[in-house]
Structure 1
Amino acid sequence: MDHVLCGLAANPALPADLVDRLITVADDDIAADLARRADLTRGQAAALVSRVQDVAALLAERGLLTAADIDPVAQPLAVFALLTEGVGRPEWARLFAADPDADRRERLAACPGLPPDVAETLAGDTEIRVVVELALWTTADMAARLAEHPHAEVRRAVAANEATPPAVLAALLTGEGMPPARRCLVCDRKETPFVHVPYCSEPDCELHPGASCDGSHESTVHDTQEQALRNPATPAAAVIGFAGDSSPLLRWALAERTGLSPEAYERLAGSPEPCIRATLAENPTIGDRLIRRLAADPGHEVQRGLAHNPRVPLDVLTTLAETVKVGPTLLPRIATASLAEIEELAASRNPAARMLVAERRDLPPEIRDALAADADARVLKSIAPHPGLSEARLRAMVDRHAVRVLARVARNPDASPALLEDLVRHRPPVRKAFREVARHPHATARALSACLHDREARPVAAGHPALPPEVVVELLADDNWQVVEAAAANPSLPLTVMSALVSQRVQESG
């Protein structure tokens, strides 16, 4: 990989003529950076995809490619990218539906809005993986038909498709009214009965651990049920019976679902597996009584999940915050708290409550300033990045709690250049603060120079536009490729240097 050219390809100051020259020598990595340029023109996009097809999806997503730009025979990847975006031509779909390459037919099957005749062709494909891919993405009518496909793997894919009609999903879940499947991936490959061991010694084996078939295709049926349980289109009435199922995976899938009965959630709460209870704890539709029951659960992940539940009562949340390490995170319940609740939390005698509300970045000035004068370092760490804080308040935080708040103060968007310079000179140094200063828009050349001495901050600082041009040029020869790439992408890199670097690489490639 040429890290200099990759950096230049991403450099927002690179002139259009140098972009054109880079396109002529672009490999996959350089092309990926060029394709993300905000100033890339449609003509440049067409030239780029003609050299590197792999960027077609990104260019199509950005609206920089049209059907007129593509030769379907020479640029099949671009064809699939445009078909995926819904701007391809129907004749392209027909062309690739008859392609002898099964990989291409499989990619086509994942494209939305296929002409009905193309979908019919793919539904009868001799390669089961093509039909499976179609089943995952096809329309409701075709999904309903494929639900009765003789291959169990196709049915599993239909169960995952959110366009599948609810009644069909319910039938796939229970098996009622469905003709039995005749094949699965296991009995396609192995003589039954067969159970795939976790550590298979066959180098070309594609069966997943635990895959099994005794004639009933049991592992694929189980996977089909799991997909149907995770599918939000499956009716709640059809899934409730699985709340007491013997399979932890099925109960785990059910714990994510919203809109079930309180009784079903209560049964799931009795699961012995902490992962199921933790998932349930985060479910926004469980009731207050169950929330309080789960708050007493000894599992740390259960309590953590409950802390992220958007409907957890504030009194439960503040109690959890004393023991659960949520980190510098704005929790969903705090994000939606009313002004009255914010005022109550900010005035709480519990530091954990004040810390939670301090993560809001839209606090009224009087509440923000009061929290900025808090005696608890945890509260100050949360409030320090809040916009609008004066330099005097930020410096006071550092004076009181030094290294405990330094990095968070450095993150404040209003931190002045002088303050940032003082933060990187602090002793003992705080490595996280160097990284924050290195990406801060107010960082000065002096502050950035200090950041260059920190291993992790150095690549970030190398891309900062406030870095002197001569320093940026020196960093192009750094031992660390991340530093080199960041320096090459720095808009402060002199134009003459950019031009020389591109000319040198073009000449070498020619």
Structure 2
Amino acid sequence: MNRVWEGLAENPSLPAELVDRLIGAAVRESDEWLARWLGDRDDLDREQVRTLAEFDDLTAAGLARRGLLTAADVDPVTRPRTALALLEEGRAGESTAPWARLLVRDPDVMRREKLTECPGLPQDVVETLLADPEIRVVAEVAIWTTSPERAAALARHPHAKVRRGAATNPVTPPEALAALLTGEGLTPADRCEVCDREPPPFVHAADCPRTDCDLPPDARCDGTHEYTVHYTRLAALENPATPADAAAGYADAESMLHRAAVAARTDLPPWAAVRLAADETPYVREELAANAAIGEETMRLLARDPYDDVRRGLARNPRIPLDLLSEVAARTKPAAGVLPRVAAATRDELELLAASPLPSTRLLAARRRDLPAELRDALAADADAKVAGAVAPHTGLTEGQLREILRRFGPQAAAAVASNPDASPALLTDLAALPAPPRKALQAIAAHPHATPAALRACLGHPRTRSLAAAHPALPPDVLVSLLVDPDESVAEAAATNPSLPVGAMANLVP
């Protein structure tokens, strides 16, 4: 693997002649990664596509997914992955049925599994997949079928793994999903993927030495297929098509994962929400707190939860009252970014947040990027560094306002100011020239379209921002060329992707 060549393969300025040479190098060196990168280019001509498609099946499959190959270009015998890619995209046309009938007999079980995801399969192919000797293929049919009748039948399959597949499928009828949870009217499964391999009772060891074993570390079977049944129920609980009453019955389940799945359901009945609000596991309460289905009384109860993660979950709830959100933000630092309730706030509500005496509440509004100009300007002049820093990346701020934020708060606001899309070249240069610019500020400068050569040279002086700066088109050509032999391969690769790299330097890299 030659990382400089891979960088060149991504370079949009690479001339067609050098693309040809680089394709030739990939073929000669059998460099599959280089072929993949080249296959992602937007300027490939027909001959280049043909050459890359002949290199290997994975590269050809990528070209097919991008629409650069048609069914007429593909031999499904020599390029089965590529044929599958076209089938999966629904672009095989008249070849759909013959290709599917060929691939359903493919000795590679993974290809047969992939075939189950393809739309428009003939009925005889589906029947063959349902009779596949590998149960994992049948389970994939259960996951991907678009027929409610077939999904319902597979939910009653004697193998527990197939039932688990049906439990994930949103077209599985509600009554079948409910039966997978309650067991009512459902004959117990005969087998599972654990007892298919080992006689029960069996517990799969976490340090299993077998290289061909793909069972999870906690897989087990005592004859009741408890591991697969557990995850079948979890899948049904996470499936929105499962009836609310059947799912809510698991609010008291022994499994924390089952209770958390119930807590996250958007059709959660009030009585289940009350019960889950008292759950012993913070993760369950966190999932409940973020759920828009819970009522205000439950939200106010969870706002007093002793665990920060639960209160952070509540802050993400799109229906939380603003006064409660303000209370939560004062006690717990919410996740970065604009919270859903703030994103939906009206102009009056934003004004209310921005006028709060609490900096933590003003900060909520400051993170919006579509603030009215007067609110934006007021928050830019805020006395709190976090508030001013949060609004600093907002478009529309003048250079004077950005410099004033920097003057008042110094390095603490440098990264926020540098990330403003309107930051001028002069401002970015001054930021980079600070005595000890913060790393995050240098990262923002290195990615900024207005960065100057002087600012980028400062970014090259920091190991964590060196590769970002090496990819910036404002770097002088002589600096770029010197970076092609940088000891850090990631820096050399980034320089090779740079569209400002001189063509002569590109040519010297490709044999």
Q: TM-score range by the shorter chain?
A: over 0.9
Match for 1:111 among 118, 134, 155? 118
Residues 45 and 264 (structure 1 numbering): CA distance in 2 closer, same or farther, change over 3 Å? Answer: farther
Match of 2:12 in 1: 12
Whether the 8 Å CA contact 1:147–1:158 is kept in 2: the answer is: yes
Tell me if 1:457 matches 2:465: yes
Match of 2:402 in 1: 394
Match for 1:51 among 45, 48, 55? 55
Match for 1:439 among 443, 447, 450? 447
Match of 2:362 in 1: 354
Letter in 2 for 1:121: T
Tell me which moved more, 431-440 or 56-65: 56-65
Tell me if 1:418 matches 2:418: no
> Counterparts of 1:405 and 1:85 in 2: how far apart (Å)?
47
Tell me if 1:90 matches 2:94: no
> Counterparts of 2:205 and 2:365 in 1: how far apart (Å)?
50
* Matched pairs, number: 503
> Counterparts of 2:14 and 2:255 in 1: how far apart (Å)?
57
Match of 2:22 in 1: 22
Residues 13-412 of structure 1 mapped to structure 2, 5 A cutoff? 13-26=13-26, 27-41=31-45, 43-88=47-92, 89-140=96-147, 141-326=149-334, 328-412=336-420
Whether the 8 Å CA contact 2:61–2:83 is kept in 1: the answer is: no
Letter in 1 for 2:287: T
Q: Percent identity?
A: 55
Letter in 2 for 1:482: S
Tell me which moved more, 322-331 or 463-472: 322-331
Letter in 2 for 1:84: E
| C-alpha displacement of 1:363 | 0.8
Structure 1 residues 489-509: Cα deviation after superposition (integer angstroms, max 9, x where no partner): 10110112212322x2xxxxx
Letter in 1 for 2:275: R
> Counterparts of 1:164 and 1:50 in 2: how far apart (Å)?
41
Residues 501 and 402 (structure 1 numbering): CA distance in 2 closer, same or farther, change over 3 Å? Answer: same
| C-alpha displacement of 1:327 | 5.1
Letter in 1 for 2:166: V
Whether the 8 Å CA contact 2:262–2:268 is kept in 1: the answer is: no
Letter in 1 for 2:19: V
> Counterparts of 1:43 and 1:135 in 2: how far apart (Å)?
41
| C-alpha displacement of 1:197 | 4.2
Whether the 8 Å CA contact 2:484–2:495 is kept in 1: the answer is: yes
> Counterparts of 2:302 and 2:335 in 1: how far apart (Å)?
21
> Counterparts of 2:325 and 2:267 in 1: how far apart (Å)?
23
Structure 1 residues 374-410: Cα deviation after superposition (integer angstroms, max 9, x where no partner): 1100101101101111111111111111011011101
Residues 199 and 406 (structure 1 numbering): CA distance in 2 closer, same or farther, change over 3 Å? Answer: same
> Counterparts of 2:286 and 2:47 in 1: how far apart (Å)?
51
> Counterparts of 1:93 and 1:61 in 2: how far apart (Å)?
17
Whether the 8 Å CA contact 1:328–1:382 is kept in 2: the answer is: no
Match of 1:507 in 2: none
Letter in 2 for 1:133: E
> Counterparts of 1:222 and 1:348 in 2: how far apart (Å)?
48
Residues 480-499 of structure 1 mapped to structure 2, 5 A cutoff? 480-499=488-507
Residues 45 and 305 (structure 1 numbering): CA distance in 2 closer, same or farther, change over 3 Å? Answer: farther
Residues 175 and 362 (structure 1 numbering): CA distance in 2 closer, same or farther, change over 3 Å? Answer: same
Structure 1 residues 256-277: Cα deviation after superposition (integer angstroms, max 9, x where no partner): 2111211111112221111111
Letter in 2 for 1:11: N
> Counterparts of 1:490 and 1:162 in 2: how far apart (Å)?
45
> Counterparts of 1:460 and 1:255 in 2: how far apart (Å)?
42
Residues 456 and 161 (structure 1 numbering): CA distance in 2 closer, same or farther, change over 3 Å? Answer: same
| C-alpha displacement of 1:52 | 3.3
> Counterparts of 1:42 and 1:387 in 2: how far apart (Å)?
43
> Counterparts of 2:447 and 2:283 in 1: how far apart (Å)?
37
| C-alpha displacement of 1:168 | 1.6
Residues 162 and 20 (structure 1 numbering): CA distance in 2 closer, same or farther, change over 3 Å? Answer: farther
Task: Report the 3-state secondary structure (helix = DSSP H, G, I; strand = E; otherwise coil) of the residue aligned with 2:166.
Answer: helix
Whether the 8 Å CA contact 2:312–2:335 is kept in 1: the answer is: no
Structure 1 residues 220-279: Cα deviation after superposition (integer angstroms, max 9, x where no partner): 111111111111121212211111112212111112211121111111222111111111
Tell me which moved more, 80-89 or 485-494: 80-89
> Counterparts of 1:270 and 1:56 in 2: how far apart (Å)?
55
Letter in 2 for 1:218: E
| C-alpha displacement of 1:57 | 4.5
Whether the 8 Å CA contact 1:112–1:137 is kept in 2: the answer is: no
The two structures have a TM-score, normalised by structure 1, of 0.95
| C-alpha displacement of 1:201 | 4.9
Letter in 2 for 1:18: L
Task: Report the 3-state secondary structure (helix = DSSP H, G, I; strand = E; otherwise coil) of the residue aligned with 2:331.
Answer: coil
Structure 1 residues 317-357: Cα deviation after superposition (integer angstroms, max 9, x where no partner): 11222232235411111111100111111111111111111
> Counterparts of 1:172 and 1:402 in 2: how far apart (Å)?
60
Task: Report the 3-state secondary structure (helix = DSSP H, G, I; strand = E; otherwise coil) of the residue aligned with 1:188.
Answer: coil
Residues 121 and 45 (structure 1 numbering): CA distance in 2 closer, same or farther, change over 3 Å? Answer: same
Structure 1 residues 117-137: Cα deviation after superposition (integer angstroms, max 9, x where no partner): 111001001111211222211
| C-alpha displacement of 1:35 | 2.8
Aligned-residue Cα RMSD (Å) equals 1.7
Letter in 1 for 2:11: N
Task: Report the 3-state secondary structure (helix = DSSP H, G, I; strand = E; otherwise coil) of the residue aligned with 2:200.
Answer: coil
> Counterparts of 1:267 and 1:446 in 2: how far apart (Å)?
61
